[in-house]
Amino acid sequence: MTTPLLAAGDLRSDFDLSVEELRALMDLAADVKRSPSAYRSALKGRIASLLFEKPSLRTRITFEVGAKQLGGDAILHVGPIGGREPVADVARNLDRWTDLIIARTFAQQTVDDLAQYSRVPVINALSDMFHPCQALADMQTIQEHLGGWQGFHMAFVGDGNNMAHSMMLASARLGLSFTCITPPTYEPNGDILARAQQFAAATGATIRATTDLEDGLRNADAVYTDVWASMGQEHEAAARARLFSPYQVNSELMALASPGALFMHCLPAHRDEEVTEDVIESKTSVVFDQAENRLHAQKALMLMLVDGPAR
């Protein structure tokens, strides 16, 4: 069984996926979920290196389980990437031993450096600028619950962070309108927003940023939030809590969206901070479907980056 390979050879950021490749990946993720046994030997004998500078539950487990379910395996290293030796040397060691490098880092530059020097594919499993693997799972979840992306609207509430960047880029290319609603000065990166708007021009989506909750949530079919202080920003947590408290996703805020709007969160969630208990446990919450789809979307991604089983 063959799958198309990504032209970029890596997933350093969401920009490494063309529109056609993104759609193909979504189709493959759905098939992997529907028929897992068809892929159980697809990467037989292949080994993935997991390099994690940050704590992880979903990302680590889903990549490990996914590699094993595809017939391969994964080896985990927890700690700084580089320091004892240059990142370039890390890459050139790992590509001699393993078939794929999956990195969860503090800095996007680390992912870029790994990809520059590695001869095997590199996957961004989270950096300070992007979280493409989560966005893939989220797009799969939206398709399952709404039936597609075109003509629907997502409101992202909170910090214009790495998650917001990846979601707006994926949304723009699949035709899902996206509004990022943040406190002043916490807007998403302007260059990434502009690129997303360029992609949206071809799909008919509307991509924008605002500080106005009522305006941004109007007609939203899905409401997404994330933690107010990401890993590495813990020293800002108290100040951010004061600024972000009006942006808490609670029942009153959800009432500003369309009736029955989905609630989404990449997890882990700080309950009764960025989201209230009643919202995350509501019948329209799909947070655990998102978590499950990390497995299927990442299996599809590995299939599209690694050229079949070891020979």
Using DSSP bridges, classify how beta strands 262-265 and 153-157 pair: parallel, antiparallel or unpaired.
unpaired
Tell whether 275 and 195 lie within a shared domain: yes
Does a structural domain hold residue 6? no
Which of 12, 46, 58, 131 is flagged as catalytic?
Answer: 131
Q: Is the pLDDT of residue 115 over 60?
A: yes
Tell whether 147 and 176 lie within a shared domain: yes
Q: Which pair of tokens denotes residue 255?
A: 């009432």
Q: pLDDT exceeding 70 applies to what percent of the chain?
A: 98
Catalytic: 145?
no
Distances (CA, A) of 170 to 94, 136, 146, 166, 230: 30, 8, 16, 6, 21
Residue 304 near residue 21, CB atoms below 8 Å: yes
Which of 46, 226, 240, 296 is flagged as catalytic?
Answer: 226
Tell whether 155 and 255 lie within a shared domain: yes
- Amino acid type, 180: C
Tell whether 138 and 115 lie within a shared domain: no
Residue 264 near residue 223, CB atoms below 8 Å: yes
State the Cα–Cα distance between residues 302 and 46, nearest whole angstrom: 10
Tell whether 102 and 27 lie within a shared domain: yes
Tell whether 124 and 245 lie within a shared domain: no
Q: Is the pLDDT of residue 237 over 90?
A: no
Dihedrals phi, psi of 285, to nearest 5 degrees: -75, 130
Q: Report the mean per-residue pLDDT for the chain.
A: 96
Catalytic: 104?
yes
The pLDDT assigned to 231 comes to 65
Tell whether 159 and 273 lie within a shared domain: yes
State the Cα–Cα distance between residues 285 and 279, nearest whole angstrom: 7
Residue 139 near residue 266, CB atoms below 8 Å: no
Tell whether 79 and 186 lie within a shared domain: no
Tell whether 155 and 261 lie within a shared domain: yes
The pLDDT assigned to 235 comes to 76
Does a structural domain hold residue 18? yes
Domain count, the chain: 2
**What pLDDT band is residue 294 in, cutting at 50, 70 and 90?**
very high
Question: Residue 211 has what DSSP assignment?
Answer: S
Q: Which pair of tokens denotes residue 20?
A: 């056609």
Residue 159 near residue 233, CB atoms below 8 Å: no
State the Cα–Cα distance between residues 6 and 260, nearest whole angstrom: 36
* CA 280, 282, 284, 290 torsion-angle sign: positive
Catalytic: 23?
no
Which of 46, 195, 266, 290 is flagged as catalytic?
Answer: 266
Which of 104, 165, 173, 195 is flagged as catalytic?
Answer: 104
Does a structural domain hold residue 1? no
Catalytic: 266?
yes
Neighbours of 147 (CB within 10 A): 10
Q: Which pair of tokens denotes residue 35?
A: 């028929």
State the Cα–Cα distance between residues 76 and 211, nearest whole angstrom: 40
Catalytic: 165?
no
- Put simply, whether the predicted model's pTM sits higher than 0.95 gets the answer yes
Tell whether 117 and 197 lie within a shared domain: no
Write the DSSP assignment of 79-102 as a string of letters: S-SSSSS-HHHHHHHHHHH-SEEE
Which position has the token pair 């790992």?
94
Catalytic: 180?
no
Neighbouring residues of 267: CB distance < 8 A, sequence distance ≥ 6: 57, 58, 287, 290, 291
Which of 69, 134, 140, 290 is flagged as catalytic?
Answer: 134
Q: Report the CATH number that the domain containing residue 20 is assigned in CATH.
A: 3.40.50.1370
Tell whether 109 and 180 lie within a shared domain: no
Residue 110 near residue 87, CB atoms below 8 Å: yes
Greater pLDDT, 46 or 235: 46
- Model confidence over 136-146: pLDDT tens digits? 999 999 999 99
What is the rounded average pLDDT of the residues 158-165? 97
Does a structural domain hold residue 311? no
Instruction: Tell me whether residue 246 is exposed, middle or buried, using C-beta atoms within 10 angstroms of its C-beta: 0 to 12, 13 to 18, 19 or more.
Output: exposed
- Model confidence over 51-102: pLDDT tens digits? 999 999 999 999 999 999 999 999 999 999 998 999 999 999 999 999 999 9
Does a structural domain hold residue 169? yes
Tell whether 145 and 274 lie within a shared domain: yes
Q: What domain range includes position 222?
A: 134-291
